[in-house]
């Protein structure tokens, strides 16, 4: 497949699953991030299978170097398209935080992971709030290099392990958009990320952190 990957339009036999990873941290209520995956509607491909892949390849990085009171609560896989399946949920054991220790940043302060499809326009770029990190890895509003390995490994893994490198039917991680050059597109379009990065500046996610969310467009 050419690189950067071409912009594609959702087909009738495509399925879009959105995986949410929700955690508890300091304030009441769940916070988290979510990611979109496109797969063909073929027998044997299930929401549970996607969650198992996420747990195998990505969970070790997502839970690494978290603050002491950070716990991963549950995963949810939502059928965005065609929207015919109920939400699937995996619940973690209580107080699940395999690498959580030390003081952390405030709940609203977070590193930002960015993906770029390699095409002009904001519609083909995505970003995800990573969530709280240990205070020792935050230097006056910046994410120091000692703490960046988990999100870098997470981003590289999700970009390359869930990419159409081999002739399989998915699931593939994508930046999903419903507009092109500020004009709505029906059906939606998507692109496989061509670039990934972790912003060295810590950002304030404000109310976005109160709901699981990946910001696209």
Please give the pLDDT value at position 213: 35
Number of compact structural domains in the chain = 1
Please give the pLDDT value at position 140: 84
Instruction: Say which residue the tokens 């220790």 belong to.
Output: 101
Using alpha carbons, select from 185, 127, 169, 175 the residue that is nearest to residue 15: 169
Q: What is the DSSP letter of 66?
A: B
Quick check: is 65 in a domain?
yes
Calpha distance 25→107 (Å, rounded): 7
Q: Between 112 and 165, name the one with better pLDDT.
A: 112
Whether residue 217 contacts residue 177, with contact meaning beta carbons closer than 8 Å, is answered with yes
* Tokens found for residue 78: 């939502």
Residue 215 pLDDT exceeds 60: no
Average pLDDT of the segment spanning 59-63: 98
Calpha distance 101→132 (Å, rounded): 12
Quick check: is 1 in a domain?
no
Quick check: is 2 in a domain?
no
Please give the pLDDT value at position 178: 77
Domain span at residue 186 reads 13-216
Q: Between 165 and 83, name the one with better pLDDT.
A: 83
Query: Over the stretch 84-96, which tens digit does the pLDDT of each residue have?
Result: 999 999 999 999 9
Classified as helix, coil or strand, 194 is coil
Residue 103 pLDDT exceeds 70: yes
Please give the pLDDT value at position 180: 59
Residue 27 pLDDT exceeds 80: yes
Quick check: is 3 in a domain?
no
Please give the pLDDT value at position 183: 62
Quick check: is 8 in a domain?
no
Please give the pLDDT value at position 207: 45
Quick count: other Cβ atoms within 10 Å of Cβ 210? 15
Quick check: is 154 in a domain?
yes
Residue 206 pLDDT exceeds 60: no
Residue 45 pLDDT exceeds 70: yes
Quick check: is 7 in a domain?
no
Query: Over the stretch 174-199, which tens digit does the pLDDT of each residue have?
Result: 999 876 555 666 788 899 998 899 98
Average pLDDT of the segment spanning 50-61: 96
Query: Over the stretch 121-150, which tens digit does the pLDDT of each residue have?
Result: 777 888 899 999 999 999 888 999 989 999
Quick check: is 5 in a domain?
no
Q: Where are the alpha helices (DSSP H) in the chain?
A: 47-57, 59-62, 149-161
Calpha distance 118→2 (Å, rounded): 12
């Amino acid at each position: 497949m050419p690189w950067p990957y071409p912009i594609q339009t959702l087909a009738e036999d495509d399925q879009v699953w959105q995986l949410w990873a929700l955690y508890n941290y300091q304030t009441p209520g769940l916070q988290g991030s979510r990611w979109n995956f496109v797969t063909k509607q073929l027998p044997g491909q299930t929401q549970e299978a996607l969650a198992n892949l996420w747990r195998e390849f990505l969970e070790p990085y997502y839970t690494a170097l978290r603050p002491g009171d950070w716990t991963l609560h549950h995963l949810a896989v939502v059928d965005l398209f065609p929207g015919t399946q109920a939400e699937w949920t995996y619940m973690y054991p209580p107080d699940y935080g395999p690498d959580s220790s030390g003081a952390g940043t405030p709940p609203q302060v977070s590193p930002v992971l960015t993906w770029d499809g390699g095409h002009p326009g904001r519609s083909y770029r995505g970003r995800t709030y990573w969530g709280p990190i240990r205070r020792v890895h935050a230097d006056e509003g910046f994410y120091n290099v000692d703490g960046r390995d988990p999100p870098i490994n997470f981003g590289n893994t999700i970009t390359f392990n869930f990419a159409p490198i081999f002739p399989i039917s998915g699931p593939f991680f994508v930046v999903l958009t419903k507009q092109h050059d500020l004009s709505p597109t029906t059906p939606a379009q998507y692109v496989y990320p061509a670039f990934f990065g972790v912003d060295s500046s810590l950002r304030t996610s404000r109310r976005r952190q109160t709901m699981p969310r990946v910001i696209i467009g």
